[in-house]
A and B are shown apart, each in its own frame.
Chain A
């Protein structure tokens, strides 16, 4: 098939816009979308040190690649990559290699933080099987990233949430009746505007996961292919399948869900979120006396 914009061979068909695109036009569209997201949501405006959380998977490496392409020449701005090593054996060591490769190719400073320096590795925890691995992993990863981002004096931390992540999380929050949690994954910011939280930015929030994958493949980004060995535990898989089926039947469903999310976000109020205090155990910001990480940690270490 030929590109709808030029005569080159198409590499992808976008059913929601009924367009065939070649590598050049598709990459341009993807970068334009990420750039527009950053501008419209003031993700980098006035900021000097921007962290990019990378895991070695396609999303985060594509994010770093795109941000470097769009912002790398801006001398007022510095990009710094951060990786959390959860200690999930081979799954992680392979993916960390991919992170190192891209960072050295782009000349981006890279820091690695290990679960075992802050908590217990996933393997040890999973022998105990007390918590759902994804929630444990997510809580610790966010805790480590926030602490590291503050220590590195970052003005913002970019995370690789794509459109699929956004709409899946949106639906999950609806299903659990946790509307305030919708603030947590907004395009720019988080559950609180407290200074203790380094604001998260999500330049890929409106780009479908399939397109992030196509972008990474087309641009020769070497990423780690493989499922997290604990991923089958997650409810998210059911939601992912449901959304993918709907998108297949009714192209544009994901964008419709995203627009509903952005509309509802405008009516959510930050002042309804409980005040941020310091955790009694670790001193990190928390909405209750002891933070989630410290609660999970003490539970995991209990004999």
Chain B
């Protein structure tokens, strides 16, 4: 699936729902270093994301 990281599209392999924290781990990001927005709403790292969701990741410390 394709998700958006800091405004840029990135392809990532995941087929089943998983915790946002696991998604961040897949992306090599610690939970303190990013926020996840699912279908336009911020979620915590303990919430789940599914490949059907519209997922945006914002990393901390890279917005200038």
Contact = CB atoms under 8 A, between A and B. Distances in A.
Interface of A: 1, 9-13, 15, 20, 23, 55-59, 91, 95, 164, 209-210, 213-214, 217-218, 223-228, 231, 240, 244-245, 247-248
A213 B35 contact: yes
A158 B42 CA distance: 28
Given A95-B64, A248-B32, A218 B6 contact: no
Chain B binding surface SS class: loop
Interface in B5-64: 6-7, 30-33, 35, 37, 41-47, 58, 60-64
Say which size band chain B's interface belongs to: 20 to 34
Contact of B47 (A1, A15, A55): A1
Contacts, number: 78
Contacts of A20: 44
B63 A164 contact: no
B64 A210 contact: no
Given A10-B44, A13-B46, A240 B61 contact: yes
A281 to B, nearest CB: 30
Nearest to B6: A225
B32 A217 contact: no
A23 B44 CA distance: 11
B64 A227 contact: yes
Interface of B: 6-7, 30-33, 35, 37, 41-47, 58, 60-64
A13 B64 contact: no
B62 to A, nearest CB: 5
Given A13-B45, A217-B37, A248-B30, A55 B58 contact: no
A10 B20 CA distance: 13
B63 A213 contact: yes
8 contacts: A1-B46, A13-B45, A95-B64, A209-B60, A224-B64, A226-B63, A244-B32, A244-B60
Given A213-B35, A214-B35, A224 B44 contact: no
Given A10-B44, A23-B42, A218-B42, A228 B64 contact: yes
A223 B31 CA distance: 22
Contacts of A224: 63-64
Contacts of B46: 1, 13
B44 A13 contact: yes
